[in-house]
């Protein structure tokens, strides 16, 4: 049996075209501190990597007002994707839905409204009536739908959220709670899972029952990079906004909660988005099934095995620092056949200065069968006289 647990460090200068190594001197990226944001709680993340660029009180459970409706719409779309609901399905409007206060889609009592219209009423017009109508249609009652909301929150890992209604309206007795981090998680899941429906969040207006209403997300009218998502306001919540924007292949999600006015939530959100786009970038490290190295194999039908990464890998880095990263692959010094396809072989580490940006498994990209008796004997003799092992 060959010795298998000795370790060696293999420098991966083949990692990606932009990587140069530490024998060169690179300028340190200069990034100013994050902007001051006048909000009770906020967060800014890279939607592709999940990297948190800025956060403050991001785990504090707060009343989300109509940001609740992102979850309401999320569940409705999940029901569509699961085949339980259709865009053309008609929904009966109950008296409870029709009587809802606050922002409305202005549906009529005892009328039939399509699921597609209700979705737009929820997303664009922030209709409390539309939210209750879709909740009752899906779950039978708004209370039962709130149970679904809490179950979905648990599945998504939204640990600071609790729902008691589908609209986000506060009452004297209760209100929903969500954290900025949970809202970012929900927005990220919406964008990733509901690509065919997400463009609704960018629509600037919707007309129903001959009543035209503009999207309350004013950034849709100010910033061409912004394509969603949702506003909210109540006395308890203040003015809130979840926004998403894409520029040069980078998508950011920002959440601000508890700002002082409609204008303030737009201004504070714009601060976060500008900071993220100006000083950071989404960088692709690897393609799926990218080969990183070819390493020696002993006692095999082949003398080498290709090792690499199975999945695409993206990271968030300071803008312009792609060439300053270094990479190394740590594998067994002695690798013995047989080797299975996709067998774990070691770890790749990517560094920027002294910061570990990524650490992931490397696997064999193909199998290597055990060699014949003569091949195994030749390799054994070779090892006996190899002083470096």
CATH architecture of 62-242: 3-Layer(aba) Sandwich (3.40)
- Whether the predicted pLDDT of 45 surpasses 90: yes
CA gap 330, 350 in Å, rounded: 11
Task: Output the CA angle 238-101-229, nearest 5 degrees.
Answer: 50
Q: Which residues are catalytic?
A: 66, 69, 126
294 or 75, greater pLDDT: 75
Least confident of 106-120, 225-239, 341-355: 341-355
The pLDDT score that the predictor gives to residue 24 is: 37
Integer distance in angstroms from the first to the last C-alpha of the chain?
15
* Helix (H) or strand (E) segment spanning residue 55: strand 52-56
Task: Domain ranges for the chain, please list them.
Answer: 7-26+284-384, 62-242
- Whether the predicted pLDDT of 52 surpasses 90: yes
* Whole-structure pTM value: 0.88
Phi, psi of 112 (to 5 degrees): -115, 130
Name the average pLDDT for the chain: 90
CA gap 96, 105 in Å, rounded: 14
Provide the b/e sequence for 283-308 (b: ≥16 CB within 10 Å): bebbeeebebbebebbbbebeebbbb
Count the helix, strand and coil residues of the chain and give each as a percent rounded to the nearest 5.
30, 30, 40
- The contacts of residue 274 (CB under 8 Å, 6+ apart) are none
DSSP code per residue over 96-135: HHHT--SS---PPTT-EEEHHHHHHHHHTS--HHHHHHHH
DSSP code per residue over 199-210: GGGG--EEEETT
- Whether the predicted pLDDT of 192 surpasses 80: yes
- Whether the predicted pLDDT of 22 surpasses 60: no
- The contacts of residue 254 (CB under 8 Å, 6+ apart) are 42, 43, 44, 45, 241, 242, 243, 244, 245, 269, 272, 273, 276
Provide the b/e sequence for 220-257 (b: ≥16 CB within 10 Å): beebebbbbbbbbbbeebbbbbbbbbbbeebbbbbbbb
CA gap 11, 326 in Å, rounded: 9
Q: If you average pLDDT over residues 106-131, what whole number do you get?
A: 98
CA gap 220, 17 in Å, rounded: 37
pLDDT in tens, 140-161: 999 999 999 999 999 999 999 9
Q: If you average pLDDT over residues 53-80, what whole number do you get?
A: 98
CA gap 272, 323 in Å, rounded: 26
pLDDT in tens, 296-324: 887 878 888 999 999 999 999 999 998 89
What CA–CA distances, in Å, run from 173 to 62, 100, 122, 129?
Answer: 15, 17, 24, 20
Q: With bands split at pLDDT 50, 70 and 90, how would you rate the model's confidence at 2?
A: very low
CATH architecture of 7-26+284-384: Sandwich (2.60)
């Amino acid at each position: 049996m060959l010795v298998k647990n000795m370790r060696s460090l293999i420098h991966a200068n083949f990692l990606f075209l932009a990587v140069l190594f530490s024998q060169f001197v690179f300028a340190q990226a200069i990034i100013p501190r994050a902007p001051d944001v006048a909000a009770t709680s906020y967060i800014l993340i890279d939607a592709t990597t999940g990297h948190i660029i800025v956060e403050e009180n991001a785990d504090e459970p707060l009343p989300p007002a109509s940001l609740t409706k992102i979850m309401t719409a999320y569940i409705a779309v999940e029901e569509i994707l699961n085949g339980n609901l259709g865009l053309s399905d008609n929904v009966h409007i109950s008296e409870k839905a029709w009587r809802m206060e606050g922002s409305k889609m202005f549906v009529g009592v005892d009328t039939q409204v399509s699921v597609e219209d209700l979705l737009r009423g929820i997303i664009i017009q922030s209709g409390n009536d539309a939210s209750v109508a879709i909740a009752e249609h899906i779950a039978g009652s708004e209370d039962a739908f709130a149970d679904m909301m809490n179950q979905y929150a648990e599945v998504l890992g939204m640990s600071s959220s609790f729902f008691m209604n589908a609209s986000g309206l506060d009452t004297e007795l209760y209100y929903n709670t969500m954290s900025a981090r949970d809202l970012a998680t929900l927005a990220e899941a919406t964008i990733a899972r509901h690509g065919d429906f997400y463009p609704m969040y960018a629509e600037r207006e919707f007309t129903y029952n001959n009543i035209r209403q503009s999207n309350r997300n004013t950034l849709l009218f100010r910033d061409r990079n912004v394509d969603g998502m949702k506003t909210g306001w109540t006395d308890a919540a203040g003015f809130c906004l979840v926004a998403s924007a894409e520029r040069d292949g980078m998508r950011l999600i920002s959440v601000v909660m508890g700002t002082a006015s409609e204008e303030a939530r737009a201004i504070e959100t714009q601060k976060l988005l500008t900071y993220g786009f100006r000083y950071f970038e989404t960088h692709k490290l690897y393609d799926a099934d990218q080969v990183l190295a070819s390493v020696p194999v002993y006692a095999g039908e082949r003398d080498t095995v290709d090792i690499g990464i199975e999945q695409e890998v993206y990271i968030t880095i300071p803008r312009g620092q792609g060439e300053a990263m270094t990479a190394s692959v740590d594998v067994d010094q002695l690798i013995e056949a047989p080797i299975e396809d996709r067998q774990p072989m070691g770890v790749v580490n990517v560094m920027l200065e002294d910061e570990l940006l990524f650490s992931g498994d490397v696997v064999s990209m193909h199998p290597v069968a055990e060699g014949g008796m003569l091949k195994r004997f030749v390799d054994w003799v070779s090892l006996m006289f190899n002083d470096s092992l």
